Amino acid sequence: MAERILVVDDELSMRQFLRILFSREGYVVDVAESGERALSQARQDWPDLVLTDLNMPGMSGIELLRELKGLAARDRRDVEVVVVTAYGSTESAVEAMRVGAADYITKPFNNNELLLVVRRALERHRLEVQVERLRSEVRGQYHLGGLVGSSKPMQEVYDLVRRIKDTRINCLIEGESGSGKEMVARAIHFSGARRDEPFVAVNCGAIPEALVESELFGHVKGAFTGAVRDKAGLIKAAHGGTLFLDEVVSLPLSAQVVLLRAIQERRFTPVGAVREVEVDVRIVAACNVRLEDAVADGSFREDLYYRLNVVRIVLPPLRVRSDDIADLARHFLKRFGEEYGKELVGISPPALDALRAWHFPGNVRELQNVVERAVALSQGPLLGLEDLPEKLRGGVASTVPVAEEQGFPPEGLNLDALLASQERAWLLRAIEAADGNKTNAARLLQMSFRSFRYRLAKFGLDDGGTD
Ligand SMILES: Nc1ncnc2c1ncn2[C@@H]1O[C@H](COP(=O)(O)OP(=O)(O)OP(=O)(O)O)[C@@H](O)[C@H]1O
Ligand SMILES: [Mg+2]
């Protein structure tokens, strides 16, 4: 189908000239004499590209650009805007690019130059439409319980969730702080057969040790000082549904014994009671260290570990799935944009590169905080590099991924920046793979410790220690 171009100019001769020029090239051409007219026409027949003069009476080209980008974001559509600036007004061209213009052309222009700019912008438009289509397909396929991210490791997580959600199999979720353990636990419950039954979350680390047993399993009146009436425990509250035991590693040994029995025999005795209570719950436990290590040092019962670890879901830290960063960032942008009443169209490429280059020690929660702060600060329609915290801005200029099958990017690429970002990512991965031991990390990268240290320092990753 022919692409649709909307020409906006207050000068009749210009509109006539451009209509002829573009029609000859096979485009469908609409014209409008003002920004206001252009907007209402765009609502009727959405254009692929808008070519607008910047200086017009009434709505200016920049205002039109903002409005169009806002409309596009709201309706999940895409439009390229090319602005026409007067000779010598670079400032307004820069401003237009910042607001999201695809390109600009300076008057007076020659026809070939203009056609080239338009062709290039439409090329980009086609790519974006394609990417957006693919992205929403992937989203539909992998979105589970509101979880965002379609990287390989996350697909494996979704796969496991799908396989167990309708069963009552217990499961253990391990992952660093902020990596989404509770979200996955909720996804298991709320997408599964037990979704209409209760989901009860308990943070085992937050209950004083002496109270854990009575909180979890309940007590009868008079069982201990302060037990003035019978109290059903949280496990009973989760009957028929899911009990989410967060920070399960903090569970005292005495409570571990009772829990083990409750899992094995589906019954337990509340504190001070003589009669047993029956219970049917699925237990999802979470832990931000390896629970196996707690078994090894004797603070966690091995038999209970095996009962909980029927299926183990390991949530990878965000830095090893940087493919998810863009999707997550857009997701949070939308969410906080609505919350703060800001119309943000997207994230500028440099800001996105900086996000992708950051290693996110606080994982998804940190990314969420970064985006929330940026949305609060942003004056854009585009969230920019200047809205990100200082520490993220020091990063790399470009992290274009180059897959084998991908041709050369039409916009060219910054090879030095690309290699630097790869280098930085591999340094971090090596440290991770070596559990933080830098001597071993250097070995993994087949380089001397000195050279490794030098490279860390180059990226400001050196914490000054020797190991
Ligand atoms: N895949 C994801 N998609 C969307 N939001 C996510 C995702 N993972 C995490 N989040 C968000 O990040 C924040 C942290 O997630 P969550 O509380 O599940 O992490 P956690 O692993 O339980 O952290 P902690 O160990 O600190 O308890 C939450 O606000 C959650 O909504
Ligand atoms: Mg949590």
pLDDT digit string, tens, across residues 242-270: 999 999 999 999 999 999 999 999 999 89
Is the distance from the beta carbon of residue 178 to the nearest atom of ligand 1 less than 6 Å? yes
Distance CA 354, CA 387 (A): 11
Ligand 1, atom 16: closest residue by C-alpha: 180
Long-range CB contacts (within 8 A, 24+) of 333-338? 333/371, 333/375, 333/383, 336/371, 336/372, 336/375, 336/376, 337/375
Give the ligand with the smallest distance to the CA of 186.
1
Say which CATH topology domain 4-139 has: Rossmann fold (3.40.50)
**Residue given tokens 């209570």 in the structure block:** 277
Amino acid symbol at 157: V
Q: Domain 415-458's class?
A: mainly alpha
The yes-or-no verdict on residue 158 having pLDDT over 70 is yes
The yes-or-no verdict on residue 406 having pLDDT over 80 is no
Distance CA 60, CA 52 (A): 9
pLDDT of residue 136: 61
Residue 108 CB burial class (10 angstroms; 0-12, 13-18, ≥19): exposed
* 182, 186, 245, best to mutate for ligand 1 pocket (most atoms within 8 Å of CB): 182
Q: For residue 70, report the distance from its CA to the centre of ligand 1, in Å.
A: 29
Say which CATH topology domain 152-316 has: Rossmann fold (3.40.50)
**Residue given tokens 């130059």 in the structure block:** 113
Q: For residue 207, report the distance from its CA to the centre of ligand 2, in Å.
A: 15
Say how many C-beta atoms besides its own lie within 10 A of residue 433's C-beta. Answer: 15
Q: For residue 177, report the distance from its CA to the centre of ligand 1, in Å.
A: 8
Distance CA 430, CA 383 (A): 32
What is the DSSP code string of 241-295?
Answer: SEEEEETGGG--HHHHHHHHHHHHHSEE--BT-SS-EE---EEEEEESS-HHHHH
How many residues are there in the chain? 467
Is the distance from the beta carbon of residue 346 to the nearest atom of ligand 1 less than 6 Å? no
pLDDT digit string, tens, across residues 89-145: 788 888 898 888 999 999 888 999 999 999 999 998 888 877 777 766 655 554 677
* 332, 365, 369, 371, best to mutate for ligand 1 pocket (most atoms within 8 Å of CB): 365
Is the distance from the beta carbon of residue 179 to the nearest atom of ligand 1 less than 6 Å? yes
pLDDT of residue 2: 84
pLDDT of residue 349: 82
Q: For residue 313, report the distance from its CA to the centre of ligand 2, in Å.
A: 14
The yes-or-no verdict on residue 398 having pLDDT over 70 is no
**Domain span(s) for CATH 3.40.50.2300 in the chain:** 4-139
**Domain span(s) for CATH 3.40.50.300 in the chain:** 152-316
Q: Phi first, then psi: what are they for 271, rounded to 5°?
A: -60, 125
**Domain span(s) for CATH 1.10.8.60 in the chain:** 319-386
Tokens of residue 415, six digits: 């090879």
CATH number of 319-386: 1.10.8.60
pLDDT digit string, tens, across residues 335-394: 999 899 888 888 988 899 899 989 999 999 999 999 999 999 998 788 989 999 988 987
Ligand 1, atom 28: closest residue by C-alpha: 365
**Closest C-alpha among 364, 313, 380 to residue 149:** 364
Dihedral angle computed from the Cα positions of residues 397, 403, 404 and 405, in that order, rounded to the nearest 10 degrees = -120
